[in-house]
Amino acid sequence: MKALILAGGKGTRLRPLTYTTAKQLVPVGNKPIIGYVLAHIHAAGIKDVGVIISPETGSEIKSYIRDGRQWNIKVTYIPQAEPLGLAHAVKTARGFLRNDDFIMYLGDNLLYHGIKDAIREFRKQASDALIFLKEVENPRQFGVARLDRKGNIVQLIEKPKKPPSNLALVGVYIFTPKIHSAIDRIKPSFRGELEITDAIQEAINMGCKVKSETLTGWWLDTGKKDDLLQANTVVLDEYIKRQIKGKADGKSQIIGRVTVEKGAIVANSIVRGPVIIGKGSKIKDSFIGPFTSIGDNVTVISSSLEHSVILNNVFLSGIERLEDSIIGKGARVVRNQNAHKALRLMVGDDSIIEV
């Protein structure tokens, strides 16, 4: 079995961050999202991995994944000139996929349980396709499945105005080569894209055996700011342990599950976990609240922040209260003398903000 990771697209929902950074490389818990995807693929024992990349961000993706040795995989990069739909991405990767079964994993999605067990079930049932479903509150924003009384998939609809259920398609799919014939038979949607939901529906129409698995654990789609913050919260809550590798002086309080990486310094500050503080960062006279990720070489002085994602090389000073925020690489946020209100920000790379 092969893996196909979709790491293209323009990331319009995460701008301004994605003007300068691929959305799959935005970190949660100080690790790029696609890093978790690659770890899941490695854990499933898949060695041959194709990565769909775009002209805008392909070089960044390559710089992070490189030759895949870190995950013990062989990587083939597959350029996609325009983001014309998930099924179009599969079509673009046809030369790589050939006649092998494959798992398609969107590079900005995360699954709690990984994919190892699902692949085993796919093989056990001898399915032509296995899709993941998750109950959601806003099904109009997703591809939605309609099931019969036995739980078989009857219909798939992309972003319906009147959803037949609240079961959304998750951004992970397992296919046999039969999906290629289904893709060849569909036409672009009203959005001008080849929809994977249409392709799966066509596979059903062709008599293919399409099974589903409804997830009980979390699924995270990190395509928007609030989704990314939620993903950061879940990942910190799930994975962060208390590890003080850097230095904390006697005037500081490190409370709960906090990771302070090597070279980081905490001085006269309170850090309440779950929190991760990256290498070389300096926290002075500040409060760092729960569910905050602070990247490498960040400086925080006389500030209070929580439930935020701070990327590398950021400088924060005199910020009375920062929450629910994402601050891009190399940004500076400093206090203007008359500001005393809570801030909610999404700041792109290399910005300078006075508040």
215 with 255, same domain: the answer is no
Write down the pLDDT at residue 141.
81
Length in residues, the chain: 355
- Are residue 24 and residue 128 in the same domain, yes or no? yes
For residue 303, give its domain range: 240-354
Q: Give the CATH number of the domain where residue 47 resides.
A: 3.90.550.10
Residues 160 and 252 in one domain: no
Query: 117: exposed, middle or buried (C-beta count within 10 Å: 0-12, 13-18, 19+)?
Result: exposed
Domain end position, chosen among 206, 235, 264: 235
pLDDT in tens, 112-158: 777 888 898 898 888 899 998 888 888 888 888 888 777 678 888 88
In this structure, are 267 and 166 located in the same domain? no
- C-alpha span between 101 and 87 (Å, rounded): 15
pLDDT less than 50: residues of the chain: none
In this structure, are 193 and 313 located in the same domain? Answer: no
Domain end (from 235, 267, 297): 235
Instruction: Select from 235, 255, 274 the last residue of a domain.
Output: 235
pLDDT of residue 328: 87
CATH number of the domain within which 328 lies:
2.160.10.10
pLDDT digits (tens, 9 = 90+) for 263-297: 999 999 999 999 999 999 999 999 999 999 999 99
Helix 33-43 crosses helix 58-65 at what angle (to 10 degrees)? 50
Same domain assignment for residues 160 and 133? yes
Check whether residue 89 and residue 175 sit in a common domain.
Answer: yes
Do 121 and 247 belong to one domain? no
Listed residue (196, 195, 191, 145) closest to 166, CA to CA: 145
Distance CA 198, CA 143 (A): 10
89's enclosing H/E stretch is: helix 86-92
Answer yes or no: do 19 and 168 share one domain. yes
What is the pTM assigned to this prediction? 0.86
Residues 214 and 251 in one domain: no
pLDDT of amino acid 354: 53
3-state secondary structure of 86: helix
136 & 215 share domain: yes
Question: Domain check: are 54 and 190 in the same one?
Answer: yes
When divided into structural domains, the chain yields a total of 2
Residue 65's pLDDT is: 96
